């Protein structure tokens, strides 16, 4: 019996590193012909930024088809073109399995299974998830509009229109006032002030920290190797890790200049060798 395919396409804003929707369809059709499958339906979204998973028109259509349609396979070009986050992929794969459907990626031409997700999304071998096949119960991130993943300090959720004129909520944008605080933190550190002194100064001025709490030196300092903390989060220079593509650029969300970022990295490197700047 010929298997019916639902093809999901996400157009790319960066066609130098990621295939555009037309290219994705071209390679998917070659893959389907090779396997003797039949294209039943196409669901497509525009790459307008970090968006609530189910709010995207193409994904919304896909989820309806999973529940009520007759397709046997959901096919995407690469898994990150469909789901950029582990919780989204895990829940989607669960829903597909419950409905007797399979998830395939045309590149590299494999069926995606639950045991594959951890290795695909978790690039930090120190995380507990890396050694197990079970997912800790947690919020669904961008899977549910009502359960939004917290954004890094300096950003907020807003809406954007896709190419079809559909308003999609969940687009990540800079928060003007908090962005000023982020730049100030970077400048203060680059000029020699310690994270503890920076936190003390911000609290003295009554500036709310992330989630509305008090500023702590650890919130600012973080861990350079693990890319945590205000001073190490590359989202501030418009970079974020995307599975399968290493780093993705979203310069519209940039808050800190490359020059200021380099100054901070230089001081961190010097600080790692011994006491530097304000104690």
Task: Examine residue 162 and say whether the peptide bond preceding it is cis (omega within 30 degrees of 0).
Answer: no
Tell me, what DSSP letter sits at residue 109? T
Q: Which fold has domain 4-143?
A: Rossmann fold (3.40.50)
Helix, strand, coil in percent for the chain, rounding step 5: 45, 20, 40
What six digits make up the tokens of 25?
């369809």
Same fold, 4-143 and 176-271: no
Q: Read off the pTM.
A: 0.54
Counting Cβ atoms within 10 Å, is residue 176 exposed (0-12), middle (13-18) or buried (19+)? exposed
Angstrom distance (rounded) from CA 101 to CA 51: 25
* Secondary structure E strands in the chain: 4-10, 38-45, 73-76, 102-105, 110-112, 155-161, 167-174, 239-242, 246-249
CATH, range 176-271: 3.90.1750.20
The domains of the chain are located at: 4-143, 176-271
Give me the tens of pLDDT residue by residue for the chain, a chain 279 residues long: 899 999 999 887 665 667 888 899 999 999 999 999 999 999 998 776 666 677 778 888 898 898 888 899 999 998 888 987 777 888 899 899 999 999 999 988 999 988 878 777 765 433 333 333 333 333 344 344 454 567 789 988 777 666 666 666 666 778 899 999 999 999 999 999 999 999 999 999 999 999 889 999 999 999 988 888 999 998 899 876 544 444 555 556 789 999 999 999 999 988 777 654 444
């Amino acid at each position: 019996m010929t298997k019916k395919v639902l093809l999901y396409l996400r157009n790319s804003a960066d066609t130098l590193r990621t295939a555009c929707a037309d290219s994705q369809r071209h390679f998917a059709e070659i893959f389907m012909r090779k396997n003797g499958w039949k294209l039943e339906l196409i669901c497509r979204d525009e790459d307008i930024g970090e968006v609530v998973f189910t709010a995207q028109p193409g994904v919304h259509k896909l989820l309806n088809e999973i529940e009520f349609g007759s397709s046997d396979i959901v096919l995407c070009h690469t898994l990150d073109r469909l789901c950029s986050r582990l919780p989204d992929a895990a829940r989607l794969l669960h829903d597909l399995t419950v409905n007797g459907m399979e998830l395939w990626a045309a590149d590299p031409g494999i069926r995606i299974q639950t045991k594959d997700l951890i290795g695909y999304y978790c690039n930090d071998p120190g995380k507990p998830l890396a050694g197990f096949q079970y997912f800790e119960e947690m919020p669904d991130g961008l899977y549910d509009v009502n359960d939004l993943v917290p954004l890094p300090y300096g950003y907020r959720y807003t809406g954007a229109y896709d190419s079809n004129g559909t308003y999609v909520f969940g687009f990540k944008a800079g928060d003007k006032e908090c962005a000023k605080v982020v730049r100030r933190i970077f400048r203060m550190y680059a000029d020699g002030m310690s994270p503890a002194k920076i936190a003390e100064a911000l609290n003295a001025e009554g500036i709310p920290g992330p989630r509305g709490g008090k500023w702590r030196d650890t919130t600012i300092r973080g861990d350079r190797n693990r890319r945590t903390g205000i001073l190490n989060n590359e989202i501030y220079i418009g970079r974020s890790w995307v599975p399968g593509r290493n780093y993705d650029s979203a310069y519209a969300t940039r808050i800190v200049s490359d020059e200021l970022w380099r100054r901070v990295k230089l001081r961190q490197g010097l600080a790692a060798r011994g006491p530097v700047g304000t104690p």
